Amino acid sequence: MSVRIGLVPSRRDVDTDDALERCRCALERSLGVCRVRRFSSPEHLAAAFEGDEVDLVWSSPTLALLSPALRDGVPVANAVRQGTAAYHGVLFVARTSTFPSVLALRGARAAWVSPSSAAGYLFPRIALASSGVELEGFFAEESFLGSHGAVAEAVACGDADVGATFAIFEHGDATRPLVRSGFLDDPTLPPMRVLLASAPIPADLWIATPALHAAYGGRLRRALADLCVAEPGPVMRVFGAEAYVPCERRGLEDLRRQLEDARALDLAIPP
């Protein structure tokens, strides 16, 4: 039985593609034949999972909870970053931007990742509403670009005034220095400035089909843990992970409740 892996890369370049191939080869040594497919959006990834085109996917927790296509998937492992299995969503602008605060963004052009993206849409919107922003009609334009890298590029080149992406702060504390984000991943982009950080979000996770999980059991989690030891650089480049730990159901359920509360507040959370 081969393992068919699906993911939406945060960016596409030669170094990232090489890193992904090294990750694939390392997993193949643990699990047997592994194949990788890249998808242009989380929605395409979920559809491929539902259509039995892939059986192990790298997913945001919100996609796992909100997408009917992933409802029967088995959570395998969460990523650990800066010593924590959580991250934040942020709204950011170019450092040279004249926007001093989120309240000044009224009438701006906003770039999001996708409607199911925790850091790239949902949690920044929840944070905006918590800051007193009435979201209906707040932005002049809103667009979904499919990946964190595309959002960062849109802000960098002026196609969007503000973007949403993931952020990893030292020790998981949003008051400490920023370590990694969708705009820091590309060193060619100009400096950016964070205007708002969301509450912590459970980290991205690996989800398996029930059939794959039944066939491999604990081997999947061990293979992912071993991957971080065998190829730490490539794993960090592609997945931003230092290690993988078993999924905490409690964290996912807490997230589910927050999303339900946000839907009740009519914050455009997908059904």
| CA 237/CA 230 separation, integer angstroms | 14
Query: Which pLDDT score, from 0 to 100, does residue 66 have?
Result: 82
Would residue 56 count as lying in a domain? yes
Query: Which pLDDT score, from 0 to 100, does residue 207 have?
Result: 95
Residues 76 and 96 in one domain: no
Would residue 265 count as lying in a domain? no
| CA 271/CA 262 separation, integer angstroms | 11
Residues 11 and 71 in one domain: yes
What mean pLDDT comes out for the span 141-165? 96
Nearest to 108 by CA among 149, 155, 153: 155
Residues 91 and 79 in one domain: no
Query: Which pLDDT score, from 0 to 100, does residue 130 have?
Result: 84
What mean pLDDT comes out for the span 237-257? 84
Of 201, 223, 245, which residue is a domain's last?
201
Check pLDDT > 90 for residue 157.
yes
What mean pLDDT comes out for the span 135-158? 94
Domain with 245 in it: 3-83+203-258
Query: Which pLDDT score, from 0 to 100, does residue 200 have?
Result: 86
The CATH number of whichever domain residue 49 belongs to comes to 3.40.190.180
Query: Which pLDDT score, from 0 to 100, does residue 265 have?
Result: 65
Check pLDDT > 90 for residue 142.
yes
Would residue 117 count as lying in a domain? yes
What mean pLDDT comes out for the span 212-228? 94
Averaged pLDDT score across all residues of the chain? 90
Would residue 59 count as lying in a domain? yes
And the tokens for 39?
């998808």
Helices then strands, each counted (H, E), the chain: 9, 13
Residues 208 and 79 in one domain: yes
CB 268 within 8 A of CB 137: no
Query: Which pLDDT score, from 0 to 100, does residue 208 have?
Result: 96
In this prediction the pTM is 0.69
Of 182, 201, 220, which residue is a domain's last?
201
What mean pLDDT comes out for the span 182-203? 91
Residues 174 and 230 in one domain: no
Would residue 269 count as lying in a domain? no
Name which residue leads in pLDDT, 255 or 97.
97
SS3 35: strand
The DSSP code for 227 is H
Residues 52 and 7 in one domain: yes
The CATH number of whichever domain residue 131 belongs to comes to 3.40.190.10
Would residue 266 count as lying in a domain? no
Check pLDDT > 80 for residue 7.
yes
Q: Could you give the percent of the chain with pLDDT greater than 90?
A: 65
Query: Which pLDDT score, from 0 to 100, does residue 269 have?
Result: 56
As for how many domains the chain has, the answer is 2
pLDDT digits 0-9 by tens, 70-126: 988 999 999 998 788 888 999 999 999 999 999 999 999 999 998 878 899 989 998
Check pLDDT > 70 for residue 268.
no
Q: Could you give the percent of the chain with pLDDT greater than 70?
A: 97
Q: Which residues touch 1 (CB under 8 Å, ≥6 apart)?
A: 32, 212, 215
Residues 197 and 225 in one domain: no
What mean pLDDT comes out for the span 176-203? 91
Query: Which pLDDT score, from 0 to 100, does residue 266 have?
Result: 67
